[in-house]
Amino acid sequence: MRSLTLAEARERSSLITVTSYAVELDLDQGAEVFGSRTVVRFTCAEPGADSWVDLKARSVETVSLNGESLDPDAVVDGRLTLSGLAADNELVVAATMAYSHDGQGLHRATDPADDLDYVYGHLFLDAAPSVYACFDQPDLKAPYDVTVHAPLDWTVIGNGAATQAGAGTWTLATTKPLATYFMTVCAGPYVSVRDEHDGIPLGVHARASLREPLERHAAELFDVTKRSFDYFHGLFGIRYPFGEYHQVFVPEFNAGAMENPGCVTFRDQYLYRGAATRDELLTRANTVSHEMSHMWFGDIVTMKWWDDLWLNESFAEYMSHRCLVDATDYTDAWVDSSIVRKVWGYGAERSPSTHPVAGVEALDAQSALQNFDGISYAKGAATLRQLIAYVGDDQFIAGVRAYLTDKSYGNGTLADFLGAIETASGKDLEAWSRAWLLTADRDTISVGLEEQGGVIDSAVVRRETPADRPADRPHAFDFAGWTDGRELGRVRATITGPETTLAELEGTPEPAVLVPNASDLTWARVRLSDSTIAALPAQLGQIPDEQARAVVWSSLIDGVHGATASPEAFLDVFDAAWPHETNSSILTRVAAYAEHRVVPYFVPRDRQDAALARLNRAGVGLLERADAGTTESLAAARLVAGTSDDEALLRAWADGKGLPAGLEDDGDFRWIVVRNLASRGLIGVADVDGFRAKDDTLQGGLNALMCRASLPDADAKAWAWEQLTTRQGRSNYEMVHLARGFWVAPDDSLVEDYVPRYFSDVPAMSGWVGEDALSRVVLVAFPRVFTDETARLSAAAIARDDLTPAVHRSLVDADAELREALASRATFGAASGAASGATV
């Protein structure tokens, strides 16, 4: 299907104003298709002109425009031409649509736990026409009236409050004006928990087989929801306007969540079946708050075109963290951001696909999707923190309120937003926005010290700007130093030039560890000094400031990726400091990064077993000391389960014997153990199937696929590759789990023949897999055979001119990680496996 271009969108919006949608969906036609009838009322600024409506149907039964029948076979490339428009128009389209299995459009999934089916709509970015006929662009908003016919035992939830009008028929209350991609319907035998707050009816919903975790987590979900409502009502001065507020945990969801007004959809993995660490609960709370903040920024006011998507995501990213810190018990949310969100964003910034936060004109809808990444989220949020430092918090909030009020139920642009902030603050933002919003890449910040007798003689901050993307960014942040856990000094400064003297540090004791951007207030590459890196194994675990510890870990990860810090140096710090970590986000995320990224990507093959053994020893040590049932105990147990080579221990844990306290009935933990056993060839297909029988659920099936794909034999790899690349109808989640397991192998020889096949077979999947889902498959399935030949094949694939935008972007990003791994191995590969060190 052709993608809507910006020029086409501008032309159509200058001609068409949509006044209403009436959508009737018949979900009682079996498992493959559903009926869709749409009545669109709209005006035309130039009577007699032509336009088109977007429609991606399995078949079109009838079409009429202003009472005149049109040819139902006239849909070409997803568009139905509308000729000779009147000033006021009514279009009626009756069609048969296909359910999807890739997370886009109206997705239908079967829960193997009870063979019950569930449906949900995910219409971002351009999937709305696969559900109903529409003018599919974000600036043609309109109110919706939706009717749904469903099986008698189904419940229906949507943007408007649902009322059962008769047996199997549901009507949804008329909505406020919505962009087409926000319309959604969730239908199936969902189970629910309901509440109310401040006059707003609340509901949380999930599959019937998830009733227990839904009910167990409902109180926490409602608490974060209520606190977020109170916070945003007070901050924005505008009440939530979309009636009821439902949060639906749906199967096989491509993203974390989607901010559909009144009916937010979440991936149902957030309803943790077993034990959950504190940072997992924080992540979920952050997602709840993030999606709610979108009710104002994104839903009440929607970007005019996709190139201002950052207005939605940067704002929600910033506001959710601010809300958690100010209004909930998750006061360490910015620490979590440092070690999770900013690490993700810095990775996007390192890639050749990096782009400015804003101002990248997306010439069509699909190309806009390629900039929906860690820059739009994490960098955008950091940029907003710098904007607040520049104009003042009160002025920023006043500008936000003015923007939301002026553009309510309409659309906004970057210029509109900055204009509101300028008016409220009295500051010209042209130079600031050019440096922070309109220029890609990041500065590097470091501190040079000269000392005499352990006393600082001079301290100079250096700000290095990328030569190929110069910008003059002011940075407001701080520096702090510690020795043996005692903070020796902290300086706050605004840096506006290449070098800035920190006179406040002169005459103070030289710290063992000096951390630029210690409170993580800005967006930059933090370059730690040689002496600081050398001191980290002994010093990092003693630093009481968890935010600064997160910045140090983020800098180390950045250094490993940039080949300025060796993986051995990272592991030395891990050995010494990780077992003493008390912040849950740092503890769990650094362990996961060490196991799943640092070792398999940056440590040469012949040293990976030794590296995993180091991680395992750290996990065992923490597990022995941690209190039962704590985040520390769970994080340690997961690390041991994933890295241990102790067959007796792994088999006992897989069989439910001798488990750490709190994990006795945790099926998700068991799958970590089973995958380790499978990847080592200690169990076979029959054993995996046996564990699958014990966990006959969607998640159990996905984990079984991953474990089968991980088996270290040729037949298992051949089966997994065929299932991934040729079996059409696999869900988005099934494809990703097969891909996650496939490249796990004891040596390259088992899988190296699949490297060239990846570059032909996976891009070809665009013929039957949606762009959003395939972009994830391309990343996860990228070969983990780190050789020059893989790099050559990758470069040749990227140079092709027949790739879809999503496939091309994902290949570029995966190729960048391959080249980072090759550079690190070339730089540090000759060093002894026991050695450590780093350069800056």
Average pLDDT over residues 736-753: 96
Average pLDDT over residues 12-33: 98
Q: Which helix (H) or strand (E) holds 172?
A: strand 169-172
Domain 1-189 CATH class label = mainly beta
Superfamily for the 301-436 domain: Neutral Protease Domain 2 (1.10.390.10)
* DSSP letter, residue 325: H
- Complete edge-to-edge strand list for the sheet that includes strand 116-122: 105-111, 116-122, 185-188, 155-158
How far is the C-alpha of 823 from the C-alpha of 833, rounded, in Å? Answer: 17
Q: Check if the beta carbon of residue 81 is closer than 8 Å to that of residue 60.
A: no
Q: pLDDT grade, residue 832 (50/70/90)?
A: very low
Average pLDDT over residues 381-398: 97
Q: Does residue 768 surpass a pLDDT of 50?
A: yes
Q: Does residue 370 surpass a pLDDT of 80?
A: no
CB-based burial, 398-425: b 16+ in 10 Å, e otherwise: bbbbbbbeebeeebbbbebbbbbbbebb
**Chain mean pLDDT for the chain:** 95
What pLDDT shows up at residue 770? 84
How far is the C-alpha of 499 from the C-alpha of 421, rounded, in Å? Answer: 29
Q: In sequence order, what are the beta bridge partners of 63?
A: 70, 93
Token look-up 């974000």 returns 138
What pLDDT shows up at residue 175? 98
Q: Quick check: bond before 738 cis, omega within 30?
A: no
Q: For residue 359, what are its two tokens?
A: 């101002």
CB-based burial, 175-187: b 16+ in 10 Å, e otherwise: bbbbbbbbbbbbb
* DSSP letter, residue 178: B
Q: Check if the beta carbon of residue 743 is closer than 8 Å to that of residue 785.
A: yes
Average pLDDT over residues 600-629: 96
Q: pLDDT grade, residue 728 (50/70/90)?
A: confident
- Side-chain-side CA neighbours of residue 438 (13 Å): 13
> Could you give the C-alpha distances from 289 to 220, 268, 286, 344, in angstroms and in order?
12, 16, 5, 20
291 carries an active-site annotation: yes
Q: pLDDT grade, residue 346 (50/70/90)?
A: very high
Q: Does residue 261 surpass a pLDDT of 80?
A: yes
What pLDDT shows up at residue 355? 93
What pLDDT shows up at residue 1? 65
Q: Check if the beta carbon of residue 659 is closer than 8 Å to that of residue 72.
A: no
Residues 6+ apart with CB under 8 A from 722: none
* Termini Cα distance of the chain: 48
Q: In sequence order, what are the beta bridge partners of 122?
A: 105
How far is the C-alpha of 755 from the C-alpha of 744, rounded, in Å? Answer: 13
pLDDT tens, residue by residue, 392-436: 999 999 999 999 999 999 999 999 999 999 999 999 999 999 999
Q: Does residue 634 surpass a pLDDT of 90?
A: yes
Handedness of CA 535, 540, 545, 549 (dihedral sign): positive
CB-based burial, 274-297: b 16+ in 10 Å, e otherwise: ebbbbbbbbbbbbbbbbbbbbbbb
With the CA atoms of 554, 559, 561 and 564 taken in that order, what torsion angle do they form, in degrees rounded to the nearest 10? 180
How far is the C-alpha of 710 from the C-alpha of 729, rounded, in Å? Answer: 22
Q: Does residue 646 surpass a pLDDT of 80?
A: yes
Residues 6+ apart with CB under 8 A from 686: none
Q: pLDDT grade, residue 830 (50/70/90)?
A: low
Residues belonging to the chain: 840
Q: Which helix (H) or strand (E) holds 301?
A: strand 301-303
How far is the C-alpha of 75 from the C-alpha of 723, rounded, in Å? Answer: 33
**CA nearest 318: which of 262, 267, 387?**
387
Q: Does residue 153 surpass a pLDDT of 70?
A: yes
Q: In sequence order, what are the beta bridge partners of 64?
A: 69, 92
How far is the C-alpha of 511 from the C-alpha of 380, rounded, in Å? Answer: 32
Q: pLDDT grade, residue 840 (50/70/90)?
A: very low
Q: Check if the beta carbon of residue 172 is closer than 8 Å to that of residue 160.
A: yes
What does the domain layout of the chain look like in residue ranges?
1-189, 301-436
Q: For residue 110, what are its two tokens?
A: 């079967």
Strand pairing report for 524-526 and 443-452: parallel
Q: Check if the beta carbon of residue 176 is closer than 8 Å to that of residue 242.
A: yes
CB-based burial, 543-555: b 16+ in 10 Å, e otherwise: bebbbbbbbbbbb
Q: Which burial class, exposed, middle or buried, applies to 752 when counting CB atoms under 10 A from its CB (0-12, 13-18, 19+)?
A: middle
What pLDDT shows up at residue 839? 32
Q: pLDDT grade, residue 663 (50/70/90)?
A: very high
pLDDT tens, residue by residue, 473-502: 999 999 999 999 999 989 999 999 999 999
Region of 484 please: left (phi>0), alpha (psi -120 to 50) or beta.
left
Average pLDDT over residues 257-268: 97
How far is the C-alpha of 319 from the C-alpha of 312, rounded, in Å? Answer: 11
C-alpha angle with apex 237: 231 to 242, nearest 5 degrees?
80
Q: pLDDT grade, residue 311 (50/70/90)?
A: confident
Q: Does residue 279 surpass a pLDDT of 90?
A: yes
Token look-up 């699949």 returns 754
DSSP per-residue string spanning 75-119: -BTTEEEE-S--SEEEEEEEEEEEPBSSSSEEEEEEETTTTEEEE
Say which of 244, 252, 280, 291 is annotated catalytic.
291
Q: pLDDT grade, residue 307 (50/70/90)?
A: confident
